[in-house]
Amino acid sequence: MLDVHPPERRDAAALPHARGPVSGAVLEVFAGERAASDLPHPSSGIDPYGDDLQLALYLCYELHYRGFPGVDPELEWDPDLLALRRSLEQPFLAALQAEVEGGDDVQGAIDALLVEPVEGTGPSWRMAQDGELWELREYIVLRSIYHLKEADPQAWVIPRLDGQAKASLVTVEHDEFGAGRGDRVHATIFASMMDELGLDSSYHAYLELAPAITLATVNVMSLFGLHRRWRGASVGQFALVEVTSSPGSARLVKAMQRLGLPEAATAFYAEHVEADAVHEQLVRRGLLADLVAREPELAADIVFGIQASTLLEDRLADHLVRSWDAGSSSLLRVA
């Protein structure tokens, strides 16, 4: 039903198409066709969750990761691009802050994450029950935007922590990065799963097809991680992932087994069933408890990180399920 390798976009090294004037301008700078000093200033009416802002923001953030082939690495610290990035971050942050409840009850926020519905309706529940293979492949395509650089955004917060909080976060990150074994790096295991499913595991192979809400779930990690001001929110986002991952991963393993996929295809999610159950305890008892004790003023930011990331993840889940219920693809199609 679904071709996730559109012939016109097989080149994973190619930059994506623009999705509006701002992302178009950034891409022109990347291509050397426009001076960074000539970048536009987004109007106050730009959609904070829209494709144009989210793609432009993702492009700016990617300069701090692996970048793009052929794009000048010196652009990472170009003051005009950094100023544009700031002007995109502000409406995104403001929108998130306006939509979440807020508060400073870290324990209450974590306790809420531990309560799963008896019968959920998200993508992993659907996959476990009666999801089809094409839906699973789409899910993995969209998740590849993060998982091919899994745990990288959260690594930015390491030098901004101290004591047990730092030790606990680094212990979890050590596992995410393979515990000293390159073949066990989680991003590598995810890529192997993509290969088993006949997908393109190249970095950014599917950036072109990722809708704004997918980009937003990754952008929020980069935003929190790159700003020391938001270190508490970065920890909150990290906690959300580690506390909630294990049950969902178990459902995805069940889905893959139901679909008759080989064991090699289930390795990524099987790894997260066991690892994240352990990580949950490290995060709750080591990272969060110590950070709040050391810097109680960060409690509200931790809660914000949990709530903002939950909001975006829920919207991505809704997008996936609504698309599939309608029998249509959840991927973005570019004309």
List own/partner pairs for 326-332 with CB under 8 A and 24 or more apart.
329/2, 329/138, 330/138, 330/142, 330/211, 331/2, 331/4, 331/138, 331/141, 331/142, 331/206, 331/209, 331/210, 331/211, 332/51, 332/208, 332/209, 332/210, 332/211
- pLDDT band of 301, cuts 50, 70, 90: very high
| Mean pLDDT of all residues in 19-25 | 97
One domain for residues 182 and 194:
yes
| Mean pLDDT of all residues in 292-309 | 98
One domain for residues 229 and 295:
yes
- Percent of the chain whose pLDDT exceeds 70: 94
The more confidently predicted of residues 198 and 114 is: 198
One domain for residues 302 and 199:
yes
DSSP state of 285: I
Decide if 334 is inside a domain. no
Last residue of a domain, one of 72, 98, 124: 98
Last residue of a domain, one of 40, 63, 98: 98
The pair of three-digit structure tokens given for residue 183, joined into one six-digit string: 């073949």
Sign of the CA dihedral running 157, 158, 161, 164: positive
Overall domain count for the chain: 2
One domain for residues 63 and 122:
no
- pLDDT band of 190, cuts 50, 70, 90: very high
| Mean pLDDT of all residues in 235-242 | 95
One domain for residues 79 and 208:
no
- pLDDT band of 233, cuts 50, 70, 90: very high
One domain for residues 207 and 248:
yes
One domain for residues 228 and 112:
yes
| Mean pLDDT of all residues in 70-92 | 97
One domain for residues 90 and 49:
yes
* The pLDDT of residue 44: 76
pLDDT over threshold 50, residue 335: no
CATH number at residue 116: 1.20.910.10
What are the start-end ranges of the H helices in 160-285?
163-176, 186-196, 212-226, 231-258, 263-281
pLDDT (tens digit, 9 = 90+) per residue, 27-46?
999 999 999 999 998 877 89
One domain for residues 84 and 182:
no
One domain for residues 129 and 171:
yes
Last residue of a domain, one of 98, 132, 158: 98
Q: Which domain holds residue 120?
A: 102-325
One domain for residues 319 and 181:
yes
One domain for residues 94 and 140:
no
Decide if 1 is inside a domain. no
* The pLDDT of residue 274: 74
Decide if 69 is inside a domain. yes
Decide if 335 is inside a domain. no
